[in-house]
Amino acid sequence: MKPTFHPPLNVDWASGVLCGAPLICKTTSLGDLAGVFADQESWRQHDPSQTVYSVEMFDSPSGEGELYVGVTHLNPGRVGDEYFMTRGHFHARREQGEVYFGLRGEGLLLLQDEQGQTRLERVLPGSIHIIPGFTAHRLINTGDAVLSALAVWPSQAGHDYAALANGFALKVTPETVKLMAKEVQNG
Protein backbone atom coordinates (compact mmCIF):
# COMPACT_ATOMS: atom_id res chain seq x y z
CA MET A 1 0.00 0.00 0.00
CA LYS A 2 1.30 3.46 -0.87
CA PRO A 3 1.68 5.69 2.19
CA THR A 4 0.48 9.26 2.27
CA PHE A 5 2.81 11.92 3.62
CA HIS A 6 1.70 14.81 5.79
CA PRO A 7 3.69 17.83 6.93
CA PRO A 8 3.82 17.80 10.75
CA LEU A 9 2.33 20.35 13.09
CA ASN A 10 4.99 22.51 14.67
CA VAL A 11 5.81 24.35 17.87
CA ASP A 12 8.64 26.83 18.22
CA TRP A 13 10.09 25.65 21.55
CA ALA A 14 11.55 29.04 22.39
CA SER A 15 8.39 31.09 21.90
CA GLY A 16 5.55 28.56 22.01
CA VAL A 17 4.24 29.68 18.62
CA LEU A 18 2.19 26.93 16.98
CA CYS A 19 1.81 26.48 13.24
CA GLY A 20 0.82 23.94 10.62
CA ALA A 21 -2.95 23.88 11.11
CA PRO A 22 -5.81 26.25 11.95
CA LEU A 23 -5.78 27.52 15.52
CA ILE A 24 -8.42 28.44 18.07
CA CYS A 25 -7.32 31.44 20.17
CA LYS A 26 -8.79 32.80 23.38
CA THR A 27 -7.62 35.76 25.42
CA THR A 28 -8.50 36.33 29.08
CA SER A 29 -8.30 39.84 30.51
CA LEU A 30 -8.28 41.05 34.10
CA GLY A 31 -11.93 42.03 33.70
CA ASP A 32 -12.81 38.38 32.96
CA LEU A 33 -11.28 37.24 36.26
CA ALA A 34 -13.79 38.64 38.74
CA GLY A 35 -13.39 36.98 42.14
CA VAL A 36 -10.19 35.16 41.15
CA PHE A 37 -7.70 37.44 42.95
CA ALA A 38 -7.96 37.75 46.71
CA ASP A 39 -7.33 41.53 46.76
CA GLN A 40 -10.57 42.71 45.13
CA GLU A 41 -9.80 46.38 45.82
CA SER A 42 -6.52 46.15 43.91
CA TRP A 43 -8.23 44.16 41.12
CA ARG A 44 -10.80 46.95 40.68
CA GLN A 45 -8.01 49.52 40.32
CA HIS A 46 -6.42 47.70 37.37
CA ASP A 47 -7.38 48.25 33.73
CA PRO A 48 -9.95 45.48 33.05
CA SER A 49 -8.84 45.24 29.41
CA GLN A 50 -5.27 44.23 30.40
CA THR A 51 -4.53 40.77 29.00
CA VAL A 52 -3.57 38.21 31.66
CA TYR A 53 -3.20 35.18 29.41
CA SER A 54 -3.98 33.81 25.99
CA VAL A 55 -4.42 30.22 24.85
CA GLU A 56 -3.77 28.98 21.32
CA MET A 57 -4.73 25.44 20.39
CA PHE A 58 -5.01 23.40 17.24
CA ASP A 59 -8.56 23.08 15.96
CA SER A 60 -8.28 19.28 15.96
CA PRO A 61 -10.91 16.52 16.25
CA SER A 62 -12.80 16.41 19.55
CA GLY A 63 -14.20 12.89 19.74
CA GLU A 64 -13.71 10.32 22.49
CA GLY A 65 -10.03 9.32 22.64
CA GLU A 66 -8.78 12.36 20.72
CA LEU A 67 -6.18 14.77 22.11
CA TYR A 68 -5.92 18.54 22.09
CA VAL A 69 -2.61 20.40 21.94
CA GLY A 70 -2.32 24.04 22.94
CA VAL A 71 -0.05 26.68 24.45
CA THR A 72 -0.84 29.08 27.29
CA HIS A 73 1.02 32.39 27.32
CA LEU A 74 0.72 33.97 30.78
CA ASN A 75 1.85 37.57 31.22
CA PRO A 76 3.89 38.73 34.21
CA GLY A 77 2.13 40.96 36.70
CA ARG A 78 0.46 41.11 40.08
CA VAL A 79 -2.86 42.02 41.62
CA GLY A 80 -1.99 43.17 45.13
CA ASP A 81 0.67 40.69 46.23
CA GLU A 82 -0.73 37.85 44.11
CA TYR A 83 0.92 36.91 40.82
CA PHE A 84 -0.94 36.80 37.51
CA MET A 85 -2.40 33.32 37.02
CA THR A 86 -4.84 31.35 34.95
CA ARG A 87 -8.35 30.80 36.28
CA GLY A 88 -7.57 27.11 36.78
CA HIS A 89 -10.00 24.23 36.61
CA PHE A 90 -10.92 20.65 37.33
CA HIS A 91 -11.79 18.65 34.25
CA ALA A 92 -15.51 18.01 33.80
CA ARG A 93 -14.44 14.40 33.21
CA ARG A 94 -12.63 14.26 36.55
CA GLU A 95 -10.66 11.10 35.85
CA GLN A 96 -8.87 12.61 32.86
CA GLY A 97 -5.34 13.98 33.24
CA GLU A 98 -3.17 16.35 31.26
CA VAL A 99 0.51 17.00 30.56
CA TYR A 100 2.17 20.44 30.66
CA PHE A 101 5.62 21.23 29.28
CA GLY A 102 7.37 24.44 30.34
CA LEU A 103 8.65 26.39 27.33
CA ARG A 104 9.79 29.83 28.48
CA GLY A 105 9.64 32.06 31.52
CA GLU A 106 9.36 30.87 35.10
CA GLY A 107 6.43 30.09 37.27
CA LEU A 108 4.53 27.53 39.24
CA LEU A 109 1.90 24.93 38.56
CA LEU A 110 -0.60 24.80 41.42
CA LEU A 111 -2.30 21.44 41.81
CA GLN A 112 -5.20 20.77 44.14
CA ASP A 113 -7.00 17.50 44.77
CA GLU A 114 -10.68 17.07 45.57
CA GLN A 115 -9.94 17.13 49.31
CA GLY A 116 -8.38 20.60 48.93
CA GLN A 117 -4.76 19.43 49.34
CA THR A 118 -2.43 21.64 47.28
CA ARG A 119 1.07 21.24 45.92
CA LEU A 120 3.34 23.29 43.67
CA GLU A 121 5.69 22.34 40.85
CA ARG A 122 8.24 24.74 39.38
CA VAL A 123 7.59 25.50 35.71
CA LEU A 124 10.65 26.39 33.63
CA PRO A 125 11.91 25.65 30.10
CA GLY A 126 11.97 21.87 29.69
CA SER A 127 9.93 21.01 32.77
CA ILE A 128 7.34 18.23 32.40
CA HIS A 129 4.21 18.11 34.56
CA ILE A 130 2.02 15.03 34.63
CA ILE A 131 -1.30 16.20 36.05
CA PRO A 132 -3.27 13.22 37.31
CA GLY A 133 -7.03 12.89 37.09
CA PHE A 134 -9.17 14.37 39.89
CA THR A 135 -6.71 17.28 40.20
CA ALA A 136 -7.39 20.97 39.57
CA HIS A 137 -4.57 22.91 37.91
CA ARG A 138 -3.55 26.55 37.54
CA LEU A 139 -0.45 28.24 36.09
CA ILE A 140 1.14 31.14 37.99
CA ASN A 141 3.73 33.49 36.53
CA THR A 142 6.30 34.34 39.23
CA GLY A 143 8.81 35.89 36.81
CA ASP A 144 9.27 39.14 34.91
CA ALA A 145 8.69 37.71 31.43
CA VAL A 146 5.92 35.79 29.67
CA LEU A 147 5.46 32.22 30.95
CA SER A 148 4.55 29.81 28.15
CA ALA A 149 3.58 26.17 28.58
CA LEU A 150 2.54 23.55 26.07
CA ALA A 151 -0.35 21.31 27.10
CA VAL A 152 -1.76 18.01 25.83
CA TRP A 153 -5.14 16.89 27.16
CA PRO A 154 -8.02 14.59 26.22
CA SER A 155 -10.42 16.54 24.05
CA GLN A 156 -13.35 15.13 26.03
CA ALA A 157 -11.95 16.28 29.39
CA GLY A 158 -13.92 19.54 29.45
CA HIS A 159 -13.67 22.24 32.15
CA ASP A 160 -15.44 22.50 35.47
CA TYR A 161 -14.92 26.00 36.88
CA ALA A 162 -17.92 25.86 39.23
CA ALA A 163 -16.24 23.28 41.48
CA LEU A 164 -13.66 25.98 42.32
CA ALA A 165 -16.19 28.77 42.87
CA ASN A 166 -14.45 29.56 46.18
CA GLY A 167 -11.02 29.52 44.56
CA PHE A 168 -7.96 27.42 45.22
CA ALA A 169 -6.90 26.82 48.82
CA LEU A 170 -3.45 28.39 48.26
CA LYS A 171 -2.67 32.01 47.39
CA VAL A 172 0.75 32.37 45.74
CA THR A 173 2.71 35.53 46.60
CA PRO A 174 6.42 36.47 46.66
CA GLU A 175 6.42 35.06 50.20
CA THR A 176 5.44 31.63 48.80
CA VAL A 177 8.27 31.80 46.27
CA LYS A 178 10.77 32.68 49.03
CA LEU A 179 9.58 29.76 51.14
CA MET A 180 9.90 27.43 48.18
CA ALA A 181 13.43 28.63 47.37
CA LYS A 182 14.43 27.99 50.99
CA GLU A 183 12.97 24.49 50.87
CA VAL A 184 14.84 23.72 47.63
CA GLN A 185 18.07 25.04 49.18
CA ASN A 186 17.63 22.86 52.24
CA GLY A 187 17.11 19.84 49.96
Residues near Fe ion (CB under 5 A): 98
For residue 56, which of 25, 85, 29 has the smallest C-alpha distance?
25
Q: What is the rounded distance in angstroms from the CA atom of residue 23 to the CA atom of residue 11? A: 12
Minimum Å gap between C-beta 136 and Fe ion is 9
Minimum Å gap between C-beta 92 and Fe ion is 10
Q: What is the rounded distance in angstroms from the CA atom of residue 127 to the CA atom of residue 137? A: 15
Please identify, using beta-carbon distances, which residue of 82 and 98 lies nearer to Fe ion: 98
Query: For residue 141, which phi and psi values (nearest 5 degrees)?
Result: -95, 110
Element (H, E) at 110: strand 107-113
Minimum Å gap between C-beta 89 and Fe ion is 6
Taking CB atoms, the residue at the shortest distance from Fe ion is: 98
Minimum Å gap between C-beta 98 and Fe ion is 5
Please identify, using beta-carbon distances, which residue of 11 and 151 lies nearer to Fe ion: 151
Cβ neighbours of 135 (radius 10 Å): 17
Please identify, using beta-carbon distances, which residue of 121 and 177 lies nearer to Fe ion: 121
Please identify, using beta-carbon distances, which residue of 42 and 60 lies nearer to Fe ion: 60
